[in-house]
Amino acid sequence: MTKTSKNIAIIGSGLVGSLLAVYLRKKGHSVTVFDRRPDIRTIEFSGRSINLAMSNRGWRSLQKVGLEEQIKEIAIPLDKRAMHVNDKPVYFQKYGKGGEAIWSISRGILNKRMIDLAEDTGAVFRFNEKVWDVNLPEAKIYTGESEKSEWKEYQYDIIFGCDGAFSRVRHKMQRRSRFDYSQDFLDVGYKELTIPANEDGTHKLDKNSFHIWPRGKFMLIAMPNIDGSFTCTLFLPFEGEVSFEKITTPEEAKAFFKEYFPNVKKEIENLSQDFFKNPTSAMVTMKCYPWTYWNKVALVGDSAHAIVPFYGQGMNAGFEDIYVLNELMEIHGDDWDTIFSEYQKTRKPNADAIAELSYRNFVEMSSKTANPKFLLQKKIEKWFATKHPEKWIPVYSRVTFSDRPYAEALAIGDKQEAIMKEVMQMPNIEEKWDSKGVEEMIIGLLDNQI
């Protein structure tokens, strides 16, 4: 060990904690990962849990430490949305240019693989050990059986809180003065359901699509698993006319699917059984600041910025935190004060931007994707972007297929939206949407904005 190598604790063995362990081991630090849960690799597990969409930022962060290829083995590329509107054929929307795709991965399978890979680099994992308290200025953590039991004290040089949206490490920071914090829940909840594989192991729906059944105030989505199944997620208001609150019996669940999702109803496995066996979960946007304490403690991933899942960027944003931390470690060496200070200053505006974009995508996916005017607008944007790829990169592409800052994507997206608002008000836009006039108008508006 060089004298700049540190003794580091990571709280949380999830995706962000595991990847950070790999990065820190590669820099020569000593790394111990604590998790209050048992080792996910020892748990009986269907492989069908929540699905993640890995995109450019996530891949880049894996690639930097040589893990990209190993993870691609357990991922399925999705190059388009498949829109399911009742009484109409399935409508496909390509995500980007040729070859651009998001990748469907099971959270459980990925997490197991990431812990294996982190252990291979020499990180030590301590499962079933819950951190109850943190001494921030001295970088000490306290673990034990319960809040009132005897605690064990550990002393580290640096502590990373990778313990998710309800972070214990952040909780300790939150009790200090001048710590800004907010948690905002959506009035919409979600529930996981499953479409099993065909008997021959193939997928029942197009395997390389992200499937969406938009229904105004609610929607169903499906993402493929490598075992041939699909993980479906039903997003539905907790209360109101059509809501989880109103579905309390198997008959009501069947009637709900029959009315709103007739074509997928027969595919969903044990619909009425799963519906009541699986929990209804809430979604939260969590923001806070600062993210660090001196050169001792830093929050990374959901513990610093939990977002709603509608842009598929939660894990990608967390992995990008690590990528940025690594860049700063390379620039500033052993100066952890500067590393942490630059880290939070750089990442905070981008975390706020992806929180906003994710919330907006919720509105777009659930209510606008079935709206003809919205679809026309998207069509015009795509047509113009294809003709002038240097002038118009859609926000979705900036977020998903680039590594430019999220805050930039949000700002440019707002400008594009203002332009499209004017374009959509042109008389007879439905007929002349791909005319020279529209093209020139967009170019003129783009030039005016500069």
- DSSP assignment string, 142-187: EE-SSTTS--EEEE-SEEEE---TT-HHHHHHHTSTT-EEEEEE-S
Kindly state the smallest distance separating residue 370's Cβ from a second copy, in Å: 27
Rg of the chain taking only CA atoms, in angstroms:
23
Considering beta carbons, is residue 18 or 167 the nearer one to a second copy?
167
Nearest distance, CB of residue 187 and a second copy, angstroms? 8
User: Reading across the β-sheet that carries 230-237, which strands appear in turn?
Assistant: 91-94, 80-83, 209-214, 219-224, 230-237, 188-195
Closest distance between a second copy and the C-beta of residue 338, in Å? Answer: 17
- Are the beta carbons of 39 and 127 closer than 8 angstroms? yes
| Both tokens assigned to 13 | 């063995």
184 versus 251: smaller Cβ distance to a second copy:
184
Q: Considering the complex, what minimum distance in angstroms separates the CB of residue 213 from a second copy?
A: 25
Residue 339 CA to residue 223 CA, distance in Å, equals 38
Nearer to a second copy, 7 or 243 (CB): 243
CB of 163 closer than 8 Å to CB of 145: no
Q: How far apart are CA 299 and CA 115, in angstroms?
A: 19
> Nearer Cβ to a second copy, position 43 or 282?
282
Nearer to a second copy, 64 or 168 (CB): 168
Nearer to a second copy, 177 or 202 (CB): 177
Q: Which two tokens stand for residue 300?
A: 């990374």
Nearer residue to a second copy within complex by CB, 177 or 428 = 177
Supply the minimum distance, in Å, between the C-beta of residue 429 and a second copy: 33
Angle between helices 107-120 and 15-26 (to 10 degrees): 20
CB of 306 to a second copy, least distance (A): 13
Burial class (CB in 10 A: 0-12, 13-18, 19+), 398: buried
> What is the nearest approach in angstroms of a second copy to the Cβ of residue 404?
29
Helices (H), 98-137: 107-120
Q: Which is nearer to a second copy, 183 or 435 (CB)?
A: 183
Q: Give 136 or 445: the residue with its C-beta nearer to a second copy.
A: 136
Q: Would you put residue 163 in left (φ > 0), alpha (ψ -120 to 50) or beta?
A: alpha
Q: Give contact residues for a second copy (rule: CB under 8 A).
A: 147-148, 174, 177-185, 238, 282
CB environment 64-87: b (16+ within 10 A), e (fewer): bbebeeebeebbbebbbbbbbeee
* Torsion, Cα of 24, 142, 126, 58 (10° steps): -40
Nearer to a second copy, 183 or 270 (CB): 183
- For residue 186, the tally of other CB atoms under 10 A from its CB is 17
Structure tokens belonging to residue 259: 């009315």
Q: How far apart, in whole angstroms, are the C-alpha atoms of residue 450 and residue 252?
A: 55
Identify the CA nearest to 17 among candidates 41, 40, 36, 33: 33
